[in-house]
Amino acid sequence: MKQAKIRAADLASPRQQRNWDWRAAANFIAGGAGGGLLLFNAMVSVDPDVIRATTLLGLMLIGGGLTCVWFEIGRPWRALNVYRHFSSSWMTREAVVALGVFAAGGLAILTLASAFVVLAGFLGLAFLYSQARILAANRGIPTWRHPRSIALMIATGLAEGAGFLACVVSLFSLLVGSWTMVFMLVLIALRAWFWKRYLAGLQADGAPDAALQILTGFASRFVLLGHVVPALLVVLALAGMPGQSSLIFAAGLILVAAGWILKYTLVRRAAFTQGLALLRLPVRGAGPSGPAARPGWKAVVEV
């Protein structure tokens, strides 16, 4: 009898999801950064060798993420079934866009034609958007399905792409343009703002307590180390401090690392299931039933 009560409590309260492991998280981590990198590769005029290197890196990131998901499947060759549901599945749309990304990116590397570089960039953005919608389409995970998660995933993918581009340009010992640095600052501010809005939305609408504890405990470090520090490094580089390449490289690396930690936290650590909601609490014998209950959820006070 005691064991049955434990199972009932486990069913009622939210539980950390176990279906998507680190390999699924790696797809969002690497794929989103790759899509953002391809977009900024198309937007910023840089050396031809840098274009080849950043395009190749973007394709490797997207391909690496998709490979991780492929290895997660029990029967890998059944992955081809993903192409059967374009009208209803964002996973299918992600897979279809990926084909275009690799085709355009490959042609961009071979020819350096601006049309292929730009096409690969826009397809990279479409890939990033598809990934954001995949996460939001999982209705059973409150931290994923919140509508503000879409903007957050896109914002961090763009920030990571700009960070990767800055790192590659610095490694080639080229100067990063002032407008590129200003754009990095804008993306840092946007990601911080979308993160604040996302966390505030979860707290206002209600979410599993365990998920909120993880996210709120992570929030201050994420803002300070993932945004304030790289922003200061970019400002120092803009001000003409010596060692601009090193400053920009460090800022880009921190931007990428913070975004990857954020996505791993969302996909693995803060991903708690819905749990059960009771419209009214049952009573034994005669008498009115109790109020509604949502075990394991943050209580939302109506104003």
Q: For 138-193, how does the pLDDT look when each residue is reduced to its tens digit (9 = 90+)?
A: 888 999 999 999 999 999 999 999 999 999 998 887 777 888 899 999 999 999 99
Name every residue whose Cβ is closer than 8 Å to that of residue 198 and which is 6 or more positions away in sequence: 146, 148, 149, 151, 152
Q: Does domain 16-269 have CATH number 3.40.640.10?
A: no
Contacts of 80 (CB under 8 A, 6+ apart): none
The string over 249-272, giving b where at least 16 C-beta atoms fall within 10 Å of a residue's C-beta and e elsewhere, is bbbbbbbbebbbbbbbbbbbbbbb
What's the pLDDT at 117? 95
Indicate the domain borders of the chain.
Answer: 16-269
Tell me: pLDDT of 24 over 70: yes
Q: Which of these, 98, 67, 89, 195, lies nearest to 133 by C-alpha position?
A: 89
Give residue 16's pLDDT. Answer: 85
pLDDT at 1 over 50: no
Per-residue pLDDT reduced to its tens digit, 41-82: 998 867 888 999 999 999 999 999 999 888 776 666 666 667
Tell me the pLDDT tens digit for each residue of 250-290: 999 999 999 999 999 999 999 998 876 665 666 666 656 55
Residue 2's pLDDT is 44
The answer to whether residue 302 scores a pLDDT higher than 60 is no
Residue 6: pLDDT band by 50, 70, 90 thresholds? very low
Average pLDDT over residues 232-243: 92
Contact of 247 with 234, CB cutoff 8 Å: yes
Position 31 pLDDT exceeds 60 = yes
**Considering the entire predicted model, what is its pTM?**
0.88
- Segment 83-137, tens digit of pLDDT: 676 777 888 899 999 999 999 999 999 999 999 999 999 999 999 999 999 999 9
Confidence label for 4 from pLDDT (cuts 50, 70 and 90)? very low
What pLDDT score was predicted for residue 288?
Answer: 64
Specify the pLDDT at position 80. 67
What pLDDT is stored for residue 86 in this prediction?
Answer: 74
